[in-house]
Amino acid sequence: MFTPGCGEADPCKEVVCGDGGDCFLGECVCKVGYDKDATGNCVESRIKFIGTYNTTESCTPVSTGSYANNITASTTDISKIIISNFGDSGQNAVATVDGSKATLESTILQGATTTGDGTISGNTLTFTYTSKSAAGVTLFTCTKTMRKI
């Protein structure tokens, strides 16, 4: 913590960082799970992911589809989100957020181990994931484009 000497102004006196950060030498330093927003305040990294999405998906072997997803905040970890109806499976998947990237935790969906990651840009989240059998054979690889509504 900065302690000003006699006659020195506190560089953090008028700096507001929000609940997710602390001021150091006049600049906000964000805690784990937080990023600076456009105003320099520290906000939860996962906030940009939260919402309702229209999703289109393309998989190999050949398969396409459209469906809806919701992304909500995990109640147990500030860096995690929950994606409903992942892969149109009716099941939820958990992902860890780091900046604009979300990494899917290894999840069993429809009997297959599923892993992958995505990146958000504006209101569009693009996710690529792979599902493998218990023997490690790739069953399919999908790219899903999720548009926040």
| Segment 34-57, tens digit of pLDDT | 999 888 899 999 999 999 999 999
Q: What is the pLDDT of residue 9?
A: 85
CB atoms within 10 A of CB 78: 16
- Under the banding of pLDDT at 50, 70 and 90, the label for residue 106 is very high
Q: Domain locations in the chain?
A: 10-44, 50-148
Q: What pLDDT score does 5 carry?
A: 55
List, for residues 53-101, the tens digit of each pLDDT value: 999 999 998 789 999 999 999 999 999 999 999 999 999 999 999 989 9
SS3 for the chain is CCCCCCCCCCCCCCCCCCCCEEEECCEEEECCCEEECCCCCEEEHHHHHCEEEEEEEEEECCEEEEEEEEEEECCCCCCEEEECCHHHCCCCEEEEEECCEEEEEEEEECCEEEEEEEEEECCEEEEEEEEECCCCCEEEEEEEEEEEC
Q: Domain 50-148 falls in which CATH fold?
A: Lipocalin (2.40.128)
